[in-house]
Structure 1
Amino acid sequence: MRKTVLSVFGAVLILLIISATAGYCKYRPKPSVLEVLVNNQSILAEPGTYSLNRWGRTAADDTYSDPVTLVLNDDPIIVAPAEEIKLEFEKPPENVKYYLWDVKTGKLAYKGLKGYPLKLENSNIESGDYAMEIRAKWEYGYVLYNTRIIVYKDTK
């Protein structure tokens, strides 16, 4: 009886080790989902370039394209400079920086904007159509997200 119990326990333990090893071999870190919120508007920002390393497993991807090209056909979020741009991550990052690329020219218009949430009026952003690149960094890697925003200044 005792040998049977030990044999069953050993077999179950071996099966658990095999299944855990198989799961670990298939594991690939994935970028955190990002939801960008402004007032009642919400949009999911797709991860572009990323490099992640968790539990000894690595995943990386490079979009090989500039932010303007990536968001040109996306629906924009319309934002006034006084409004906050909030970011909802699955796991909050340690550091977030923003870069705004002018959609008309394709050139970098504003770099290294900081804030979590971001208030554009703190950086004197002009009205315009922008590709916003969001660079989020965690202890296990980084992800670049891109979305399109239209900034308008109310000139009443």
Structure 2
Amino acid sequence: MKKSVPWIALSILVLISMASWITYSTYKPTPPELEVAAAKHIMEVKPVTYTLRKWGRTASADINIEPAVLARESTPLIVDSNDNVKLLFKQSPDAVKCYLWDMDTGRLAYKELTGYPLNFEEYNVASGDYALEVHAKWENGYVLYTARVIVHDNEQ
């Protein structure tokens, strides 16, 4: 029995090492989840493009389509022009920049909106249908999210 104890311990170590290696070799970093909230409405926003590194592993996705085209199929978040739009990340990013693209023309309407939360009144966002593009950066990579936002002028 005493001679088999080292072999059993070695076997267990080998099994643990193999299980760890299998887990590591199949591991793929995933982008943090994001919810966009305004007034009483909340919607989940899926990542579109990202590059992330963790534990020596890299994951990336790239969709080379204009934000207005991507957001066209999504359910819009309806907000007033004086609302604050909150970006609720599962993991807080190091830096965030937001852009609003006009859904009708596909052109950039408002660039480099910053702040937590986004204050549409501060940027004088006019009523309209927009694609909200969120660039979030972490130490281990970046993620680009796209959502559709319909802004109504609260005075109408």
Same fold (TM over 0.5): yes
Question: For the superposition of Structure 1 and Structure 2, which TM-score range results when normalised by the shorter chain?
Answer: over 0.9
Report SS of the residue matched to 1:16: helix
Q: Which residue in 2 is equivalent to 1:40?
A: 40
Q: Which residue in 2 is equivalent to 1:114?
A: 114
CA distance in 1, matches of 2:81, 2:114: 14
1:153 offset after TM fit, Å? 1.4
TM-score, structure 1 normalization: 0.95
Q: C-alpha deviations, 1:91-143, integer Å up to 9, x for none?
A: 11111110000001000001100011111111111111100001110000000
Q: Which residue in 2 is equivalent to 1:56?
A: 56
Is the 8 Å Cα contact of residues 30 and 52 (structure 2) preserved in structure 1?
yes
Q: Does 1:25 align with 2:25?
A: yes
In structure 2, runs of 5+ residues without a counterpart are none
Moved over 3 A (4+): none
Q: Does 1:155 align with 2:155?
A: yes
Letter in 1 for 2:22: A
Q: Which residue in 1 is equivalent to 2:87?
A: 87
| Count of aligned pairs | 156
CA distance in 2, matches of 1:22, 1:101: 43
Q: C-alpha deviations, 1:8-62, integer Å up to 9, x for none?
A: 1111011000110111010111111111111221111111011111111011111
In structure 1, runs of 5+ residues without a counterpart are none
